[in-house]
Structure 1
């Protein structure tokens, strides 16, 4: 049934008898439910992505227990002390039975990211064709099923685990373009920066995965890690299926007032964009799109310097125990989530109160997300053995990185609300290559990883990449909706969205 208001706009009236479950949520705004689904979805996704990083320590047999010498070595090029006076450190057997070489372990961990990058463009295309509900939901389900299968396959052959991790990477790569596409249909322009903070659910996911995995391994064995994360993933998929919808028009319980508010503050995108051909050629020739991909490459480079080689720095240079290392490696991600909510809220306030233009807001928060962390990297490299100051800079850098979700990452929806999924896929194909290039470069530089001079080079390179790539965004970053965002399917000609065009279309639908 349709209801037409005096402004000649058409809205769908929810079915009051649809389901008792929806009646329970009748007073909750549909946008808030979508925020919670997005937040929890990325949290669960990153739990299934990162669980193996810690579990593999217990999975693989360790024939050479680590002996810790009671020798302090603090010089101009070394900074290594021990907290304990014991000559050896007790080695705990977590039941590892797999005889995987270090190279095999590297392939298992890296296989996720190879497939992840490949799937970005596929995710943009699939979202345009099938919608976010289908793509995001089934991608999560496939990832969860693979997690449940890893314990069994790992005891057969590591090649099967590599295959499962590749499938997980491919499926996870579809989720980001899918959710970005939903923002353009669902979230009014004044709320978009705040909604982007829901994507930071991944930070909480990382933050809780490591201590959860440690607890499960210690009490139930490493296999329980994958059974737990996989089961959580399947449960989430059921909730997503019941509560997620591709557009306000297809939502069975949304109020007419909320549907009207969304329509008045967004382009009328869903009905047209699902049937449009993605203008890949124009996207590839768009400097605003390239500027987003290039600048976020620098941010990812810095981010993965902290995520992957970072714990090695804490162990080999700062001399932290594995427990302390895990806590201090994971804690900044909890801080980064809280910060992301603050950054996105402030971005909306600056725009809504007309204190800054949207373009300048995006550039300001992009600078905070990579130039400032880059400067902190340089400072860390020259702090030597000042552990307290190093940790302050470390936490500050990781926290500021999330400002990108009020900056260049949110800018994707600004320039192409109709094709946010494909544009994100394009940008992620560029910037996620840094997820394996950054640790590879660090590994090549540090070799054994025990000297301050080697690590200083790692941090300086990261800072250079972050600052140089930001310059591209400073030049070509813009809030302007690109001409190729709206394309008429029949003629293929570009159109500029106006309220008049939208009203005309509504009268036709009515």
Structure 2
């Protein structure tokens, strides 16, 4: 009774927004904890001298072994093995994202999220048990965790499509920014746990969080407003009337032919690809540039490594509220959408292209990185919200497909950056080429959408009412 009274005091859809935020938070704890745990699991290698440090009193910087800390049992895994372990999640995530939409639309987003999160929690603790046996088992566990994670984001788009009134949609989408908090807190909590309790507990602590989340989610989340036990009639009518009959809970196979032959879908796909390309440059190439060229390891500084992500989180919510405010002021959704692309793609692309001007100045590089990532929080109004614009009924399917296609950039960017640095050397000219190309793709994809993109609900959003279909 207490939970019911509390839910009725606060609109039920706000509880759903909170669950979306916490889902992305939890999703990223299992996604990012390997990057903090793996260094504690392997025997330290040799410290590289950054290019900028070689030019200044180079005799003071000699190659030396990194001091070992007692963080638990260590394994002699070379760089290739470590790369495979770190990349295992993303291989699984890429594959899982493709069917994620249809799974959520068929069995419902609630059970998709709940079941996949429980499975990820079990597999997460299993990492600590299988790592001593063989790194291949750890790779398999991380791959399966990624597979579970890949199904969750399309399910969240499906949940947003069913719960969000159009005038509040970007606030719902802004809740997907819980992932940034998940990354930051995982790095902080994981580091502390590893220091005092050894690396196996860095996995188990995250799994404990997952157990608590699943209990809360199981009580508060439902597939749709019509199924929620505690929603008031007033709020239910408000959501249904605001959606104007565009959302149906009828089970239906997504209209794949119509989707893949839809030009608006492909403009969104290009927009999302450009955003993910830019993000992968920011989270893979930039830290490498700062460590191996400038000589400043941003990941070793808890505050500096977290600040760009936290800034993106808070600005993401700010942009979400601003987008909904402009819609209430009768601005057309397509105008809001295309205007915000300047912030989500164009400005970050320009800032990325400017990274090479930092040269050996770590302060300039940190400022550019922080500005680029934080302003990119406006994606909650652009490519993260556009799937629901095009088709509230099949937003999960759309998001799964564009995540699969865009996710390919996660493999291209590190390979391309490595090839450029290997070919032309670890110098300012090479890094300038990496950042210039990243900025060009970032901006180019944004400009393409500004010319050709749309926010109109597509004709294929309608679900065919055929015999044998049932409501969820």
Structure 2 length-normalised TM: 0.93
Q: Per-residue displacement from partner, 1:310-332 (whole Å, max 9, x unpaired)? A: 22222122222576445423320
Q: Which residue matches 1:218?
A: 195
Gaps of 5+ in 1: 1-18, 493-508
1:19-63 CA-partner distances (Å, limit 9, x unpaired): 55434433121111111111011011101110001110011122x
1:74-473 matches, cutoff 5 A = 74=55, 90-268=67-245, 272-321=248-297, 324-354=300-330, 356-447=331-422, 450-473=426-449
User: Cα 1:357–1:249, aligned 2, differ >3 Å: closer, same or farther?
Assistant: same
Hey, what does 1:44 align to over in structure 2? 26
Cα distance change, pair 480–24 in 1 and its aligned pair in 2 (3 A): closer
Question: 1:28 — aligned with what?
Answer: 10
Distance 2:90 2:430 in 1: 26
Q: 1:105 to 1:84 in 2, by over 3 A?
A: closer
CA 1:475/1:220 → structure 2, altered by over 3 Å: closer, same or farther? same
Shift of 1:102: 1.2
Name whichever of 84-93 and 113-122 sits farther off: 84-93
Give the aligned partner of residue 465 of structure 2: 489
Q: Displacement, 1:488?
A: 2.3
Cα distance, 1:277 vs. partner?
2.2
Secondary structure, aligned partner of 2:384 = helix
CA offset digits 1:381-439 (Å, max 9, x no partner): 12322332222211100111221111122111111011111111121121111122212
- State which structure, 1 or 2, has the greater radius of gyration over its C-alpha atoms: 1
Q: Deviations over 1:200-241 (max 9, x none)?
A: 000111111112111111111111110011111122111111
- Rounded Cα–Cα distance in structure 1 between residues aligned with 2:51 and 2:398: 54
Question: Are the equivalent residues in 1 in contact too, given 2:51–2:293 (CA < 8 A)?
Answer: no
Distance 2:463 2:47 in 1: 62
Preserved contact between residue 53 and residue 295 of structure 2 (Cα < 8 Å): no
1:163 & 1:438 partners in 2: Cα distance?
23
**2:273–2:407 Cα contact (<8 Å) kept:** yes
Q: Deviations over 1:75-133 (max 9, x none)?
A: 8xxxx999999998754343342221211111111121112111223111111110010
CA contact (8 A) 2:165 2:243 kept: yes
- Taking the aligned partners of 1:308 and 1:325, their CA distance within structure 2 comes to 16
The answer (yes or no) to whether the contact 1:68–1:87 under 8 Å persists in 2 is: no
* CA deviation after TM superposition for structure 1 residue 487, in Å: 2.8
Question: Where does 1:55-70 land on structure 2 (aligned, <5 Å)?
Answer: 55-62=37-44, 64-66=45-47
Cα deviation for residue 293 of structure 1 reads 1.2
Q: Distance in 2 between matches of 1:85 and 1:415?
A: 57
Rounded to whole Å, the distance in 1 between the matches of 2:66 and 2:251 is 63
Distance 1:71 1:370, change over 3 A: closer
Number of aligned positions between the proteins: 468
SS in 1 for 2:8: coil
Residue 150 and residue 290 in structure 1: after superposition, are their counterparts in 2 closer, same or farther (change >3 A)? same
Native 8 Å contact 1:194 1:344 kept in 2: yes
Question: Residues 144-174 of structure 1: CA distance to partner in whole angstroms, max 9, x if unpaired?
Answer: 1111100110011111111111111111011
- Per-residue CA deviation, residues 8-28 of structure 1 (Å, 9 max, x unaligned), is xxxxxxxxxxx5543443312
Distance 1:90 1:276, change over 3 A: closer
Q: RMSD value over aligned CA atoms?
A: 2.6
Please state how far the C-alpha of 1:282 moved relative to its aligned partner. 0.3
TM-score, normalised to structure 1, is 0.86
Separation in structure 1 between the aligned mates of residue 347 and residue 97 of structure 2, nearest angstrom: 28
Deviation at 1:189, TM superposition (A): 0.6
More helix per residue: 2
Unaligned residue ranges in structure 2 (runs of 5+): none
Structure-1 residue corresponding to 2:36: 54
Q: Is the 8 A contact 1:336 1:401 kept in 2?
A: yes
Q: Is the 8 A contact 2:53 2:61 kept in 1?
A: no
Give the distance between the partners of 1:416 and 1:388, measured in 2 at CA. 43
Distance (Å, rounded) in 1 between the aligned partners of 2:434 and 2:230? 53
CA contact (8 A) 1:368 1:400 kept: yes
